[in-house]
Every structure is written in structure tokens, then in C-alpha cells.
Amino acid sequence: TPRVFSGIQPSGGLTLGNYLGALKRFADSQNSGVQSIYCMVDMHAMTVWQDPAKLARATRELCAGFIASGVDPDRSILFNQSQVAEHAQLAWIFNCVARMGWMKRMTQWKDKAGKNQENASLGLFAYPALMAADILVYHATHVPVGEDQKQHLELTRDIATKFNNDFGVEFFPITEPVIEGAATRVMSLRDGTKKMSKSDPSDMSRINLTDDADAIATKIRKARTDPEPLPSEADGLAERAEARNLVNIYAALENSSVEAVLAEMGGKPFSEFKPRLAELAVAQLAPISGEMARLMQDPAEIDAILRHGAEQARAIAQPILARTYDIVGMVR
């Protein structure tokens, strides 16, 4: 049976990239009838230094972000990773299945560790094994993510395959990455070759889910573009990274396609397109930041949602971990 799992790090604010690449898609797919499990991966966040008070706040704010984006905790399981110890337990077994060489090839490891790998945390290096455990401890079959997580999901498949081969079982499913829609890679508003990211030093490079209407409109108005009007076909965006990014964002917000947006907007200058995009973005995003702020006024309620979600998640994970222990020969 299909089962969806995905995770988001509570490591600072949420961006339009997280919204279009993940949250909005989670909310939109809620009617599919497939059981969906969404995790605030606090253990992943601490692979780089997190101030404890900020980590706790970011975890609650992320939960508020899920709910404000339309993910209903009565229909999907919402919880934070550290409350379900089975993730860490399975991750240890995967640490012993995965190979150093696989980990060294991960581009996120290379980017995040930078030149000073000797001084990176061991957790940052092992990060993808914990991610594989997140997914496989539920036998999840489908993982909706943005493009940047593709390599980690390939590694998850490699770990499942090696485990099954090593122990001569057909136990862990080979997970399908689900990387769909018009905005699986939202780019910086200042540089169309860089991913929109919460760690970019320039706040003008991104739209935060907590930005108010004025901030959203200003950032779109000032977004970098080229002087040409929009093309009427998708081919015309091939060499125009900034223009392509804004059209992708528009299409994703509208739940339409790049082709449909260009059929309507082709030939129009950015002076006309940007206000339309700003209007669409504000209409959709401003209520989310309002709702997040409202939810954050009652942290106890958020904690109760996470605790309840953790209980539901644990009920699925426990028997799968127990069978894994049996397979590898751990006496219980």
C-alpha cells in the first residue's frame, strides 16, 4: 500500500521555496486518500549548530507553517522527529549499511561542510542515513520533495537495496521520489542560478512565509529580470533563468503550467507581469503568515498536536523497527 513521508528542517524561517516545493504540494495532495506522514526533522537541524531556544521555537513555527499552509493534522500525521526514537534507532543500522564513499559524494555534504570537512559534525556526514531511516521506518513508498533532495532519495534507494541484499530479504521498499509541479526548484530573486534559501545573506533574495504583503510586493518588484518581454512559449525561457523562475513561481501559485501562463502573458513586459505576480503571491501567502502568527500564540496547542502525531507515527514505526532488529539478529 502506498504511504507518503516527507520532512522539513526547523532551522530558521520557511521560504517560498519550501512552500511551493513542499508545503503547498502536501496540502494539495491531501484528498488522494493516501496516508501521509510529515516530520519536523529537529535531529537533522542540529547537524549544524542550533541555539536550543531557537530550535524549539523553529519547530513550533514549522508546525504552524504546515497547518497554515493547509495541512490538516486530523488527516495527516504531523510530528517532530526526536519524539519518535525509532528514527535514530534505524539510522544506526543504516550507518552500518551505508558506505563512506556514498556519503562523500553527496553534494549537500560538500556544500555544507565546505573546505573545512575535518571540523564538520559527524552528524552532518551521516545526515542522509538518518533521512533514509525517516522514510523507511514507515515503509513509505512516496516522498514528495523539491529537486534539491533528489540525490538523498537516490541514496535512500541504495540503502534499502543494500540492506535487502545483505540480509537476503525483501523488506524495505524502494522509494519513489515525487518531484512534480512547476516549482520544484525555486531560485533566488537576485540570482537565477542560485537556489532560493533561508541561508542566503540577502533577505531580498527570498520570500519568507512570515513576510507581510508590502514585503512580498517589494521583493517581487525588485526581483532581478532581463529587459525582454515574456516569450509566448516555454522554449523562450531556456536561457533566461530569472524570467523562468518568476514564470515557474506564477504557474505553481496558480496550480497551472508554464505553457498556460505564457499563453496568457507572452509578449507582456515585466512591468505588467510583476504586479500580477505580486498580487497572486500576496493573495496566497499573506493569509498564511497571519495564520502562523495566530497559531504561535498558543504553543501548548502546537505541542499537543506534535505529541499526538508522534504517538500515531510511533505506532507505525515500532513494528517495522522490531522486524528490522529480528532480521539483523538483535536479541529482544
The label of the residue with cell 522539513 reads 8
Each residue 201-240 as x (binds ligand TYM by CB under 6 A) or -, in order, gives: ----------------------------------------
Say if CB 288 and CB 209 are below 8 A apart. Answer: yes
> Is 255 annotated as a binding-site member?
no
Among 68, 106, 131, 288, binds ligand TYM (CB under 6 A): 131
The residues, any chain, with a CB within 8 Å of residue 307's CB and separated by 6 or more, are 79, 83
Q: Are strands 176-178 and 3-8 parallel, antiparallel or unpaired?
A: unpaired
Cell numbers that stand for 48 in this block: 549544524
Q: How far is CA 280 from CA 252, 265, 275, 276, in A?
A: 11, 14, 9, 6
Q: Which of residues 142-181 bind ligand TYM (CB under 6 A)?
A: 143, 145-146, 148-149, 152
DSSP-based three-state secondary structure for 6: strand
Task: Examine residue 41 and tell whether it contacts ligand TYM (CB under 6 A).
Answer: yes
The answer to whether residue 44 forms part of the interface with ligand TYM (CB under 6 A) is yes
Nearer to ligand TYM, 2 or 266 (CB): 2
Does residue 21 touch ligand TYM according to CB under 6 A? yes
Rounded to the nearest whole angstrom, what is the least distance from the CB of residue 282 to ligand TYM in the complex? 20
- Where in the sequence numbering do the catalytic residues fall? 112, 195, 198
Return all residues near 303 (Cβ < 8 A) that are at least 6 apart.
60
Q: Residue 292, annotated ligand binder?
A: no
Tell me the three cell numbers of residue 246: 518568476
CB nearer to ligand TYM: give 34 or 229. 34
User: Does residue 22 belong to the site contacting ligand TYM (CB under 6 A)?
Assistant: yes
Site string for ligand TYM, 45-74 (x = CB under 6 A): ------------------------------
Q: What's the start-to-end Cα distance of the chain, in Å?
A: 28
- Told to check if 316 binds ligand TYM by CB under 6 A, we report no
CA distances from 161 to 157, 165, 310 (A): 6, 6, 28
Q: Are 295 and 66 in contact (CB under 8 A)?
A: no
- 9 makes contact with ligand TYM (CB under 6 A): yes
Instruction: Provide the residue type at 146 as one letter.
Output: G
Whether the CB-CB separation of 177 and 153 falls below 8 Å is answered with yes
Q: How far apart are CA 307 and CA 301, in angstroms?
A: 10
Q: Which of 7, 65, 173, 309 binds ligand TYM (CB under 6 A)?
A: 7
- State which of residues 135, 136, 278, 288 lies at the interface with ligand TYM (CB under 6 A): 135
Task: Provide the CB-side half-sphere exposure for 146 (13 A, CA).
Answer: 21
**Which of the stretches 1-9, 232-240, 280-288, 293-301 binds ligand TYM when contact is defined by CB under 6 A?**
1-9
Tell me the binding residues for L-tryptophan: 134
List of residues contacting ligand TYM (CB under 6 A): 5-9, 17-18, 20-22, 41, 44, 131, 134-135, 143, 145-146, 148-149, 152, 184-186, 195-196
